Structure 1
């Protein structure tokens, strides 16, 4: 049993504790066998007294905890309310922290820069489309497509009366009259 106690003394958790443990072990080893027994008895009594105080404190703490719970219940403070309050306070603390403030400002400036880049790209594309739309070639294509559509629409509506047999026939007839080639004509040529 004596070896068990000395082995505990020789397994310290930190270098400072190892120096203290070595000093205690050296002092204990310097005592006579009778003095060592007396020291162990004192330590055992002190340990019993400390454990009794710990148990008393646990009992008092449990009593105080029950009393606090009763008071909270009487005040209408629920567990959910406490959790919500703790969460809100935690979020407030995070938002007020300097790290959060710096991160927020970096994200805000990055967002603004990204928005300006996308805005310039979008405005560039929009202006190119408006230039294309206003160009002579686009107007010419629009006019041809529009007139072809109107002709086909007219032919299809008249096909109901029996003058044209099908939509492809009307389309082919319109293409030949407007000067546009059908996709099948361009493949065969």
Structure 2
């Protein structure tokens, strides 16, 4: 049973997270050695930066709430935003060079296909007319 305990995690080896972790950080031997004063300065700077991050997160949350309130007052719903985004995207697509070239190419292809079908239709109509006339002449002839 003692051997099983040897593999267990000891409380003194658990990595801390958060503000308390700053005070328990040990410098790995591979990093350059810092004086006690330099370490203290870096810890102070780290605490200041972490405080700034917290403050900025709070400011961002407040601004996001303000945006949501303004949108609500203006009647801008997520569905309306989606419609506007789709409309804007579609407009960007239809004004793109690639879309215009593709559209023109398809238009020309459609015109050629229409002309071909018209030509085939005319040929078939003439053939039916010939067959009809031949049937009539055979009936009387």
Same fold by TM-score greater than 0.5: yes
Match of 1:55 in 2: 54
Cα distance in 2 between the residues matched to 1:83 and 1:125:
51
For the residue of structure 2 that corresponds to 1:100, the secondary structure is helix
Q: Unpaired segments of 5 or more residues in structure 2?
A: 1-26
Q: Distance in 1 between matches of 2:37 and 2:115?
A: 83
Counterpart Cα distance in 2 of 1:107 and 1:141: 47
The separation in 2 between residues aligned to 1:55 and 1:129, in whole angstroms, is 85
Counterparts of 1:109 and 1:67, CA distance in 2: 52
* Paired residues, number: 114
Partner of residue 97, structure 2: 98
**1:120 corresponds to 2:119:** yes
Q: What SS does the aligned partner of 1:2 have?
A: coil
Gaps in structure 1 of 5+ consecutive residues: 7-27, 144-189
Distance 1:51 1:142 in 2: 104
Aligned to 1:2: 28
What is the CA RMSD across the aligned residues, in angstroms? 2.5
**Alpha-carbon offset, residue 46 of structure 1:** 3.4
